[in-house]
Amino acid sequence: MKQSKKWIKGMVLAFMAAIFMFSGSMSWAEDGTIKLGVAGAHSGDLASYGIPSVNAAKLVVKEINANGGVLGKQVELLVEDDACKPEIATNTATKLVSQGVNVVMGHICSGATKAALGIYKDSNIICMSPSATNPALTQSGDYPNFYRTIASDDAQAKLDVDFALNVLKLNKIAVIHDKGDYGKGFAEFAKKFLEESGKAEVVLYEGITPGAVDYSAVVQKIKRSDAQAVIFGGYHPEASKIVTQMRKKRMDTIFISDDGVKDDTFIKVAGEYAQGVYASGPKDSSKNPLNIKAVNAHKEEFKSDPGAFYENAYSAVLAILNAIEKAGSTDYAAVSKALKTEWVETPIGKIKFDERGDAIGAGFSVYQVKDGKYAEVK
Amino acid sequence: MEPVLEVNSLTMDFGGLRAIDQLNLRVMPSEIVALIGPNGAGKTTFFNCITGIYTPSAGDIFLSVNGRRERLNGLKPNRVTQKGIARTFQNIRLFQNMTVLENVMIGRHCRTSSGILGAIFRDRRTRLEEEKVVSDSYKILEKIGLDRFVNELAMNLPYGAQRRLEIARALATEPFLLLLDEPAAGMNQKETQELDELIVNIRDTENISILLIEHDMKLVMRISDRIYVVDYGKKIARGNPLEIQRNPAVIKAYLGEDPDA
Amino acid sequence: MDWEYFLELLLGGLTRGSIYALIALGYTMVYGIIELINFAHGEIYMIGAFTALIVASVLNYAGMNHVAVAILAMVAAIIYSCAYGFAIEKIAYKPLRNAPRLSALISAIGMSLFLQNYVLLAQTPDFLPFPSLIPDFDFWEPYAHIISSQEIAILATTVSVMILLTVMIKFTIIGKAMRATAQDRIMAALVGVDINRVISVTFVVGSATAAIGGVLIASHVGQINFYIGFIAGIKAFVAAVLGGIGSIPGAVLGSLVLGWTESFFTGYISSDYEDVFAFLFLVLILIFRPSGILGRSETQKV
Amino acid sequence: MNVRGELKKSFQISAWFMFLTFPILVIRVNTVENVIEWRWYNMAIVGVSTFLGSALWRYLLSVKEKSQRINAASPGNMTSFQKAFSDKRFFYPALFILIGFVISFPFLFSMYQANIMITALIYVMLGLGLNIVVGLAGLLDLGYVAFYAVGAYSYGLLNFHFGLGFWTTLPIAAILAALAGILLGYPVLRLRGDYLAIVTLGFGEIIRLVLENWGEFSHGPSGIANIPRPSLLGIDMTLTQNTIFTYFVMIGLVLFTIFVVNRLQNSRIGRAWIALREDEIACQAMGIDRTRTKLTAFALGATWAGMGGVVFAAKTTFINPASFTIWESVIILCIVVLGGMGSILGVISGALVLTLLPEYLRAFSEYRMLIFGIMLVSMMVFRPEGIIRNVRRTYTFSKE
């Protein structure tokens, strides 16, 4: 018995020694470029949320490299797909780390981002997402290496709820979500804020199945609940179906939603029924010269309008590279400090980051569809 | 002496169709009984009722073994097999992608007991049991004359050998009563002859009673102690081969119409 | 009891059910003949919708009138879906006719993946607005909030497709050949049925129903992307099994039952667990009727 | 003559495909911006590639048919690979090299390689588990992912609420998954074939949807984060070290799985499963209890998924219901069928191919799923029995 215990101990020790010895030798030689990882969904059903960020990174890097790069070094892009799946995201992250990335712009979905962040954290790599809005990412304190150029779900929910209560003065509201990470997170906060305010009653709180062919039953339920408004957490495909069906049933219930709905496709799909819908989104920066430049660059290079999170991704890349430039190196601590202290001009405005990693200066505002366009509600 | 199998007024309805009507049947120990009748007379249905694949609509089925008499109605097929009735199938139902030996080893399943833990840890008891299963199965194959095919897949056997394998597999369950469903179907003269000897041999050496369905009248007349004739689910005659051959009802209903069948 | 609410849910469930039915019909036909869960069926539906969208856009661009556009788009969708169905069978299923059934299933899954990504790459990962090919008729306007003209079109199409298919299978020569093939493929071949032709025709007809469904549903929903086929396909398959797979009226009945189940569950309880309930319902039905509502209960030959 | 005929056929097929792909490949519409783009060059590409592709396709099909005629399935007919494998002179050196490679793998290659190998090994385990249900017992289970989810959430939740560690949870999750297997297996005992498939698919979805909706229990769609990686006697490890350690944990678990599955397969119970797959009626007539045999298959299959789930949760450190969709079940089923049903070696190679292939296809980024789909179809068309065919065990007897 004793013999065998000793034997096991010896094995474990030898084993650990082997791991330590070999892993020590696995550091990466610096070479002449700054490696920027871009990770997100580039394939599968959520590809449309990830591909614009790749385009943004390509355009920014192309321009910066043409102007001499960062710190005299060229920026090299390493683009990796995670299909928005946590399990693939860890592979993506380890691949990027193994390839020696200095910083990462991504991931797109909150779940995938959470799975990947642990790996970046242990490898001292800064990660900035253009689109992961889950509050815990910055608020839990678990991910000091995380930054984002988009406001978190709770900030957005607060804005929408305040708008409904104070501007529209509503007191009966239905909260609907798409059961997804983003939509349900948003809806939970909206419900919480509504209940805390004491000014309005949540008459209905339900999740719908994304991708279903129609939502008539839920629409009927909204009608029966006598809600004055619907606050919807989710994306535009479901939102347009709900809005269209509500209007076809001659309901004039106000529809308030989130950034996932503030998309031109929503207006195109819902057509005339989109009129009057409110959606929150990043502060209007379409007059910002940098934004105009970014959008034009996309049109020129890819012959199409940029998609979702394009400006956020563009800004993220600019912010990261600016911080490296200001820090004078890709050193983790120095870049972190630069991100938190140095203001940078981006398509979404002049931003820097707070202690938790949320962007300061990248605010949200509420928009309303007017004549086939989103217009900011002043 | 008590009959091994005693079936009293067994009835089986499918919807409105009465497949078996008030059938009585007895098989005595070490007896070979044949069940004959035209196609669609309900013979295979009768087998299915006995072996628990169908639950009969009415009637009783009793099995008497070593002085214990048990009612079999409503038992699941595997329980019936465990009680000591084994069968073969009219349309061969071997485990096609298993070897000949494995087919027989499956038959030993209900007479062995090692479980999951035994399988994983292969303790002494399981090992011994497994060895015994292999050697027992091999002995059965030798007896049936299939030992040269041991490691062949069942699907690759010649037709006659497949029929014999079905019998071997059934024997492996250590039955007191063996039900053979058209064992000679599709066999040539020589094969039938061999089968004939095999069946008698099984009865003589193992003390197994045999109930068989068969269309080959020569075989039936040669080996049967008694014969039951059914038509439209009803028994129309019963007796020894000679009596049956002379029975006018049988000749009319069956032999008369198709004497070669 | 709130009767108006009940009626609305009933109508909503009816529409949803007919949508499932249009896809489920093709599933059930193919399954009836070759006992294959044709995973790629949903993709054919998606390709039908895409073809219609492309053709409609091009014709609209060329300035053709609305009715002509709608008809031509529908015809193009049917032609192309049939062509795809035909080609898929020849490539992915025919070589596997004598292989284990699971191999054919995996092949179907591969085909489904391929087609999704093919459309994703050739077209776009985004949702595209789909023009409303069926106009909202003015005379129907007063009742449109109860049931829209598009919903009526879907209902009517479902019923007529079901009747047409039933007639075809019951009374035409090819229908008889189909039934024979479904019963026993080898025997059918022995009595002179051209099995390859029957299977091809089945795929083509199944694909045509998928295309009709694709165009109508896309026009009702107003948007499509490459992934719609998969989601709708799963539900339609559940509906087909619920009704008794292989049975044409069963597919429609199963779809309606599923549509109503979801609608009423959402209406009276909660849409959070809508799908959970739909699946539980399926399990319950199958436990008590293992071959679906209208399925022939297999008596096993022993 | 033959060449001309073939050429003509290829021409026809290529013309057919040019017609087939015309609207979707040539015209791209964007109804958001009302833009229509014509891409005629795609048609040319399709024409040429299908011309060559169809010739190759038919050639391969004819090769397959020829070889099929010669190759009747029997245990004597092993592939050359399997023959080499059973040759002792060949086997031991090969095994030695393999062991050496497996041990040195994480040290030779980057952390990324070790990481995807962990994923592949998890799928080996899942594949071997599902192989019990599908490959051996012949029960088509499309909801296997449910047990995977049970395992992953067992670890996630037990760790979150009670701080239980990886090693404590591993057996607990295995037992919970086995119980889930029995629970789900019981009502579907009477169902067979595709009905079983669709009901198990339903169960898989139910588990996922409940995890998604029952936020109080499962943390809903936002999932559980910060799940600890596997630990070893409380030693602090860096990420790289931990990855290497997890790799060896997984190697150990896979060896354990292979050991157990192999023993089960060649046991009284394993034979009963196979008999059940071959013929349910005959199986019962041989005295095998169908209910018990099916339930043990479900339970023992689920066990491995449960353990795989624990490793998965530990590896990704984050779980949410989105990881347990029906696609996951489908992929695991593909592993079993593509590898070769019932064959342990086959399932292992199937798992390695199907999980490593998409990773190594990353170079093709957006085309990888397209290629993956083509791969599945062509593998099945040209080798429907899977990569490695199951070979039955043979026995030798000395004549007395």
Point out the residue among A51, A224, A244 whose CB comes nearest to the CB of C222. A244
Domain range for residue C95?
15-288
Angle, CA of C55, C61 and C65, to the nearest 5°: 80
Residue D12 tokens read as 């026809």
Decide if B162 touches C, using CB distance below 8 A: no
Specify if D75 maps to a domain. no
Which amino acid is it at B261? A
Residues 6+ apart with CB under 8 A from D63: none
Contacts of residue B180, defined as CB under 8 A and 6 or more positions apart, other chains included, come to B87, B88, B167, B199, B210, B211, B212, B213, B214
Please give the residue that has the higher pLDDT: either D81 or B182: B182
Query: What confidence tens digit (pLDDT) does each residue in B72-122 have?
Result: 888 899 999 999 999 999 888 999 889 999 999 999 988 888 888 888 888
Q: Using one digit for the tens of pLDDT, what is the confidence trace for D166-205? A: 999 999 999 999 999 998 888 887 787 777 888 888 889 8
Rg of chain A in Å (alpha carbons) = 23
Task: Give me the pLDDT at residue A23, please.
Answer: 46
Strands (E) in C204-279, as ranges, are 223-224
Here the tokens at position B182 are 């058209």
- C301 touching B (Cβ < 8 Å): yes
Residues of D with CB below 8 A from C87's CB?
16-17, 20
Q: Is residue C6 included in any domain, yes or no? A: no
Asked whether residue B27 carries a pLDDT value surpassing 60, the answer given is: yes
Distance CA D23, CA D32 (A): 18
- C-alpha A174/C-alpha A188 separation (Å) is 12
Query: How far does the CA of residue D83 sit from the closest CA of chain A (Å)?
Result: 35
- Does the pLDDT at position A136 exceed 90? no
Q: What is the predicted pLDDT for the residue at D86?
A: 65
Distance of CA D180 to the CA centre of its chain: 20
C144 assigned to some structural domain: yes
Higher-pLDDT residue of A261 and D66 is A261
D99 falls within a domain: yes
Give alpha helix (H) positions in A235-378: 236-248, 264-270, 289-302, 310-327, 332-341
Gap between the Cα atoms of A193 and D84, Å rounded: 69
Note the pLDDT of residue D156. 94
Higher-pLDDT residue of A283 and C158 is C158
In a domain, C293, yes or no: no
How big is chain B, counted in residues? Answer: 261
Same domain, yes or no, for D126 and D33? no
Please say whether the dihedral angle defined by the alpha carbons of residues C197, C200, C206 and C210, taken in this order, is positive or negative: negative
**Kind plus residue range of the DSSP H or E element containing C74:** helix C66-88
pLDDT for the residue numbered D365: 63
Give residue A285's pLDDT band: very low, low, confident or very high (50, 70, 90): confident
Going along chain A from its start, the domains and CATH numbers come out as: 33-150+287-363 (3.40.50.2300), 154-258 (3.40.50.2300)
Asked whether D376 and D382 are in contact (CB, 8 A), the reply is no
Structure-token match 């396909």, residue found = C233
Chain C residues with CB inside 8 Å of D142's CB? none
Q: Where is the domain boundary, D41, D70, D99?
A: D70
- The one-letter amino acid code at C177 reads A
Contact D104, A20 (CB under 8 A): no
Domain range for D10 is 2-70
The set of residues, in sequence order, having a beta carbon less than 8 Å from that of B14 and lying 6+ positions away, is C299
Grade residue C183 by pLDDT with cuts at 50, 70 and 90: confident
D290: which chain B residues are within 8 Å (Cβ-Cβ)?
Answer: 76, 78
Cβ atoms of C73 and C59 closer than 8 Å: yes
Chain A and chain D share a number of CB contacts under 8 A equal to: 131
Instruction: Write down the mean pLDDT value for chain A.
Output: 85
DSSP A303: S
* Strand ordering across the sheet containing A146-148: A74-81, A33-40, A103-105, A126-129, A146-148
On whether residue D182 sits in a domain, the answer given is yes
d(CA A7, CA A242): 66
Task: Classify residue B162 as left (phi > 0), alpha (psi -120 to 50) or beta.
Answer: alpha
**pLDDT-based confidence at A269, cuts 50/70/90?**
confident
C-alpha angle with apex B144: B141 to B147, nearest 5 degrees?
40
**Residues, chain D:** 400
**Unique residue bearing structure tokens 């999980």:** D355
Q: Are C219 and C192 in contact (CB under 8 A)?
A: no
- Asked if A242 has any chain C CB less than 8 Å from its own CB, the reply is no
Q: Which residues of B212-230 are buried (b: 16+ CB within 10 A; e: fewer)?
A: bbbbbbebbbebbbbbbbb
Closest CA to A41 of C106, C227, D208, B20: C227
Q: Which residues of B touch C302 (CB under 8 A)?
A: 44, 48, 53, 89-90
Q: D: neighbours with 3+ CB pairs under 8 Å? A: A, B, C
pLDDT score at D69:
58
CB-CB under 8 Å, C145 with A248: yes
What's the CA gap between A189 and A167, in Å, rounded? 19
Is B112 in contact with B187 (CB distance < 8 Å)? no
Are B151 and D281 a contacting pair at CB < 8 A? no
Q: Does D123 share its domain with D232?
A: yes
Q: Is D212 among the domain residues?
A: yes
Would you state the pLDDT for residue B224? 92
Is the pLDDT assigned to residue B39 strictly greater than 60? yes
Residues A140-172 have pLDDT tens digits of 888 899 999 988 888 889 999 999 999 999 989
Domain count across chain C:
1
A257 bridge partner residues: A232, A279
Alpha-carbon dihedral angle through residues D97, D102, D106, D107, given to the nearest 10 degrees: -30
| Distance in Å, alpha carbon of C83 to nearest chain D alpha carbon | 7
Mapped onto helix, strand or coil, the DSSP state of residue D223 is coil
Residue D370 lies in a domain: yes
Q: Which of A18, A81, A264 sits opposite D362 (nearest CB)?
A: A81
Out of A280-284, C161-165, D80-84, pick the least confident.
Answer: D80-84
Q: Tell me which residues of chain D have a pLDDT lower than 50.
A: 1, 71-77, 400
Assess contact for A93 and A119: CB atoms under 8 A: yes
Report yes or no: B70 and D364 within 8 Å, Cβ to Cβ: no
Domain check: are D59 and D198 in the same one?
no
* Rounded CA separation C213/C210 (Å): 5
- Could you tell me if residue D388 is inside a domain? no
What is the value of ipTM here, to two decimals? 0.86
Would you say D230 and A118 are in contact if contact means Cβ atoms under 8 Å apart?
no
- Which residue of chain D comes nearest to B171, CA vs CA? D286
| Chains touching chain B, criterion 3+ CB pairs below 8 Å | C, D
How many CB atoms within 10 Å of residue D326? 17
Q: What are the tokens at A253?
A: 């219930």
Residue A329 to residue A324: CA distance in whole angstroms: 6
Q: For residue D205, what is the enclosing H or E element?
A: helix D193-213
Say what the pTM is: 0.88
**Mean pLDDT computed over every residue of chain C:** 87
Q: With contact defined as beta carbons under 8 Å apart, do B62 and B10 qualify?
A: no
D104 lies in the same domain as D14? no
Alpha-carbon torsion angle A349, A351, A357, A363, nearest 10: -40
Alpha carbon D146 to its chain centroid, in Å, reads 15
- Residue D359's pLDDT is 82
Burial D221-250 (b: 16+ CB within 10 A, else e): bbbbbbbebbebeeeebebbbbbbbbbbbb
Structure tokens at A62: 């192309």
Q: Please state the separation of Cα D78 from the chain's center in Å.
A: 23
CA distance linking residue A187 with residue A157, whole number of Å: 7
Do A and B have ≥3 inter-chain CB pairs under 8 A?
no
Neighbouring-strand partners of residue A360 = A352
Q: Which of B78, B101, B156 sits opposite D72 (nearest CB)?
A: B156
- Domain CATH number, residue C57: 1.10.3470
**Do D220 and D264 fall within a single domain?**
yes
Q: Which residue has the tokens 């957006």?
A: D366
CA dist., res. C266 & res. A207, Å (int): 10
Distance from CA of C76 to the nearest CA of D (A): 10
CA-only gyration radius of chain D, Å: 24
Amino acid at D49: S
Q: How far is CA D26 from CA C50, C63, C133, D383, in A?
A: 13, 20, 23, 33
- Residues D53 and D165 occupy one common structural domain: no
Are residues D176 and D27 part of one domain? no
Question: CA-to-CA distance for C247 and C29, rounded, in angstroms?
Answer: 8
Q: Which domains does chain B have, with CATH numbers?
A: 1-84+175-261 (3.40.50.300), 95-172 (no CATH)
Query: Domain check: are D51 and D165 in the same one?
Result: no
Residue, of B172 and C143, whose pLDDT is higher: B172
- pLDDT category at A26 given cuts 50, 70, 90 is very low
Mutation for A interface: D102, D214, D226, D240, most A CBs within 10 A? D240
Q: Where are the beta strands (DSSP E) in chain A?
A: 33-40, 74-81, 103-105, 126-129, 146-148, 172-177, 201-207, 229-233, 254-257, 278-282, 344-346, 349-353, 359-360, 364-370, 373-376
Instruction: Specify whether the CB–CB gap between D211 and D203 falls below 8 A.
Output: no
Give the count of domains, chain D: 2
| CB within 8 Å of A118: residues ≥ 6 apart | D226, D239, D317, D318
Instruction: Kindly state whether residues D226 and D110 are assigned to the same domain.
Output: yes
Q: Do A217 and C13 touch (CB under 8 A)?
A: yes
CB contact under 8 A, A47 and C125: yes
Lowest-confidence region among B193-202, C179-188, D12-21, D24-33: D24-33
Same domain, yes or no: D157 and D274: yes
Q: Rounded to whole angstroms, how far apart are CA atoms B247 and B251?
A: 6
Cα separation of the two ends of chain A = 79
One domain, residues D117 and D262: yes
User: Which bin fits C183, alpha (ψ -120 to 50), beta or left (φ > 0)?
Assistant: alpha
D41 and D138 belong to one structural domain: no
